[in-house]
Structure 1
Amino acid sequence: MIFLSIDQSKRSTGYALWDQRRRPVIGHFQLGSEYTSDGATFCKLHERLYELRSIAKFDAIYYEQPINPAQLQGHTTIDTILLAGGLAAHIQSFGTAMGCRIVKSVNVQHWRPDFIGKIQHNDETAKVRRARKAGDKRASARDTLKQLTMERCRQLGFTPRNDDEADAIAILTYAVLLNGITPPWLAEETLRPIMEGAAA
């Protein structure tokens, strides 16, 4: 099976493509700016996915599940929510049109704890809960968790250029484990015990 993982966003979409014969191909691309229409953004995503398929004919796509609107905080607008849903729908459509065996979204609350470690993840989110309870409405673990994901990637021998690439590596690792495969970057790891198995 050839895997493609995607951490999709308009500003910077990270990806990791692995055909099990060599190290994953890692990268990121921009789908548009604040002036790019949603339709043009979706077209750009289609172009980029098609380019990746020319590198390796992936038959499994795993991508980050858009956040539930009920869980949103801060200044997220309805336009942002609609764009996120559209990107996810376009990935589903592309994967189906290309005959992929698996096209599946994965929740960040599942893949990130498995990748960086559940204890570390829970400690960081607990700090934020305490800060919010104390009155800091802007407290967020987002940046810290993304930095921990970057550090974990480096531990495993990857050199992501940004957190979107790091998230794609993490999603790929989670997806591969879900399919009962231990990837070589975990099998060969010596600096840290192999992480806990991914939850379904």
Structure 2
Amino acid sequence: MIILTVDLGTQTGWALQTREGHILSGSESFKPHRFEGGGMRFLRFKRWLTEVKGADGLDAVFFEEVRAHAGVDAAHVYGGFMGQLTAWCEHHQIPYQGVPVGTIKKHATGKGNASKANMLEAARQRGFTPVDDNEADALALLQWAISQEQTS
């Protein structure tokens, strides 16, 4: 299965399992550019999703489901990305699922309230070299998704 996982936000962490089982990951910035309208970050996000989907397609998308945000702006940005992601998945008929933050952290570290540093360390212990905590979260989510696939 080709699985994409994303940690949604202005700095979006992502991880992808290819059909061959290889894992690719990174962190993509959707920070608004100077002189851009407020919706451009979301259009760039949709274009990025389409590029990731490529010719091989995606079998499933998982995203980190955040219930509490540091502030109103963060909540609005997250909601915008989640709306774009779910609509894009519906349009392309790709199954998607939100996974609570605590579930991801507990799977990666054994603690549902693990810190960013704990998540980075857990990724490194699994042989990955994430550039930031967003990529580490996406990698942890991918590991969770793979484990769910193996048990079903």
**Residue equivalent to 2:23:** 24
State the one-letter code of the partner of 1:161: V
Matched, 1:158 2:128: yes
Whole-angstrom distance in 2 between the partners of 1:82 and 1:98: 24
| CA gap 1:56/1:168 in 2 versus in 1, 3 angstroms | farther
| CA gap 1:112/1:26 in 2 versus in 1, 3 angstroms | same
Q: Is the 2:32–2:40 contact (alpha carbons within 8 Å) kept by the matching residues of 1? A: no
**Residue equivalent to 2:43:** 43
Does the residue aligned with 1:180 lie in a helix, a strand or coil?
A: helix
**TM-score normalised to structure 2 length:** 0.88
State the one-letter code of the partner of 1:46: K
State the one-letter code of the partner of 1:154: R
Matched, 1:84 2:54: no
- What do the CA deviations read for 1:2-48 (whole angstroms, capped 9, x no partner)? 100001111x1110010241421111111123865441111011011
Q: CA deviation at 1:180?
A: 2.4
**Residue equivalent to 2:90:** 96
Size of the alignment, in residue pairs? Answer: 151
Whole-angstrom distance in 1 between the partners of 2:135 and 2:18: 17
Q: Which one scores higher on RCO, CA 8 angstroms, separation ≥ 6?
A: 2
Q: Is the 1:4–1:61 contact (alpha carbons within 8 Å) kept by the matching residues of 2? A: yes
Q: How does 1:12-161 map to 2 (within 5 A)?
A: 12-33=11-32, 36-54=36-54, 56-68=56-68, 72=69, 76-77=71-72, 79-100=73-94, 102-117=95-110, 121=111, 125=113, 145-161=115-131
- Which residue, out of 131, 148, 152, partners 1:178? 148
Identity of aligned residues (%): 25
Whole-angstrom distance in 1 between the partners of 2:38 and 2:146: 31
* Higher gyration radius (CA): 1
| CA gap 1:9/1:23 in 2 versus in 1, 3 angstroms | same
Q: Is the 1:112–1:149 contact (alpha carbons within 8 Å) kept by the matching residues of 2? A: yes
Q: Is the 1:28–1:165 contact (alpha carbons within 8 Å) kept by the matching residues of 2? A: yes
Whole-angstrom distance in 2 between the partners of 1:55 and 1:16: 17
| CA gap 1:17/1:55 in 2 versus in 1, 3 angstroms | farther
